[in-house]
Structure 1
Amino acid sequence: MHGPRRFWKGGEMGRPPDARSTPAPAGTTAVPGLIPDLIARLPWPRWVLVAVAVAVGVLAVSCFLCVVCCCLRRRSRGRKKKPRDQGAVGLASPQSTTSTHLVQPDVGDSEAAPGGPQDWGRLLLSLGYDVGSQEIRVGLKQAADLRAGGPGGTADPYARVSLSTQAGHTHETKVHRGTLHPTFQDTCCFHVAQHELAGVALQVQLLNFRRFSAHEPLAELSLPLGAVDPQHVLERWYQLGPPGTTERERSGELCLSLRYVPSSGRLTVVVLEARGLSLGLADSYVKVQLMLNQRKWKKRKTSARKGTATPYFNEAFTFLVPFSQLQSVDLVLAVWARGPQFRAEPAGKVLLGARASGQALQHWADMLAHARRPVAQWHRLRPAREVDRALAQKPRLHLPLPGS
């Protein structure tokens, strides 16, 4: 028996209709592939799609160019940081046209040949003698080509001037920050009789200022004054020599801190410690004296420290100094000690204020520039007579006050 016959609609018996032969609906076009099919289904016009594709391409190209530029910059920076010794390898090659004597020697090379004329720098001085007052006038103009005082390749130099016959009378310039070519433009005078000029030598020491440690010597000049013409002013450059042992402090040093508050008028002086005092002195203490218009005003005293050349005090004293009187105030700190004859003697003094000079004047200016903040610094002890002589002079500078 045969089952019922099945007929496919629209086709022959036993074969299904071919889907590919089915006609597509009116208004559509059959496009093979996935991406064209997706594009055909989007409701946007074709020009919008083209604009979006162009924008994406431009953005991709811009990003690629930025990445390339960054890589090139990093490579150029790496080449600039190449060590000097690697860059100077070709100086000795036969094809090189650069001669080796034009290359500046390193620090180690210059130290190996002491006494070279360019090793320690130069100093511009002016010397003149006044027959009427019997004073030698020394003008410190500028210095050049000094040696660096630290790993940073720079220094904070200042000059100290004295005569060989007047060791207790010295003059210091202000500190010049971060330079190996300081311009001093400073003048000092020394009393010397005309018939004594032949046996006197001018001593100039260049030192690197350090706030919390011993000052580093940079160079030194010793100039005989016998050749000075009393009728003319001599100005010329002098070669500096290596520093000797005269820069070491024989009278000792004192470390102190200053702080001024303009609103309340409080001047706080902290006596921290001393060092380098004579071993023959005992029971050392510090007198802190405040002077107003060259007259004694207020004074304090620390407790005594026995049997030590490096006494540690750490005592603070506060003075009320009105803001209007700050320019007329001088601060004097004197280190006193008992000598072999059990008698108190001043081992040295430190003067701060408008009548000070050198690093002491710089410390006072730093206190005014950094109001309400303590500023600590080491100071060399000067002879008592030298400080008393400076107190009798008129103020040389009018320092700027905080807030002015």
Structure 2
Amino acid sequence: SSDQALLLSVGLSVALLVLLLLSFILCYLRRRKRKGQNQYQELPSTIPSLPSLSSAPVILVSQGSWATLVPIPSTSPPKRPQKSILSMFSSGWYPVGTVLAGLYSIPLPLNEVVAPPPGMSTRLCFSVEYRYSSEQLLVSLLRLGNLPPRFHGNVTLVELRLLPDDRRPRQAKARGTGPDPEFNDSFVFQVSGRCASRSTLSVCVLSVQQDGKRRAVGRVLFPLQGELGQAGRVLWRDLETEEDTQCSELGDMLISLSYSSSLQRLSVVVLRARGLQLLTDAGVYVQVSLQVHAEVVKVKVSCVVKAESDPYFNHRMTFKLRPQHLDEACLRFELQQQSDVCSGQKPPTPLGVLVLGPFMYAKGPQLQHWMDMINTTQEPIRLWHRLNRVT
């Protein structure tokens, strides 16, 4: 009986100990739960009331000509704004202003926003922007206006270069045909601000026929000096074409150039001249000199033709020139009139001079012609050039 009493007392002690332990655990859990409810109770909102969005200032983020301003509706914001266009400052939330819809939606048709100026000349529409932070020149090519009827059914291509150093042209293809083909393409030139201000943007417009042959429509030469600070402007420039009848003071000369790197051969064709200021009835001819640095390597003379204001030569000549000398060589064309037979053996009279070559010797159309010859292997490139006075 003494053993039974001992076992009973031990069992009661263990049961009491378990009950105390369970009571302690329940009390601990209740206290932890109450503490969590006090810690995460909802705080009162500290968001100040928003001013009217209709009176918010407009912040312009672009100067594009086809971007339109669309105001944000002045509706009351919710307790916790989620979709409102707001800006957060240290004191709360405030509205930014309006949205430039042109940045987030499809732009309006170009016919409505960049209509060409009046006139019948062929014009190019583009814009130029220089980003000083990244040293990038962004050229946006938009459209052509008043393309001549003979080119309406052809594919229109445009080649862009940054003269004088850019040899690799950027090319764009028009999206459609007709008198006003559209492009809507952008090109980036990586160039320092110093070099960009001294460069010229060259845009050459080509018409591709059904047989694949290309014909030059015209070109635009746009000097960038003084234009880099006018970002976002839509510019219209007339194309310089071969059909321009306006002659320079001394006249013009039509020259064709082609180069074959495999044959190391420079081919020159003196085609014709126009608007010459002749002094006598003696015949005229063209003397062509190939010069490398300051040394005259070869001199050739065209045929002598009758003294006319618009003479035709159609004389072809070739020169040996290595590819490594293309950046060091130039061609000098000197139009001369023979001395009068009755006046004795007098030297010929110079009527005008023209130099074609890289940027060391030429600029403008004369430089562009040389660069086109280098980049268009074995294909003749012809262009009108004005004559200058012989110095």
TM-score by length of structure 2 reads: 0.44
Q: Larger C-alpha radius of gyration, 1 or 2?
A: 1
The structure with more helix, counted as a fraction of residues: 1
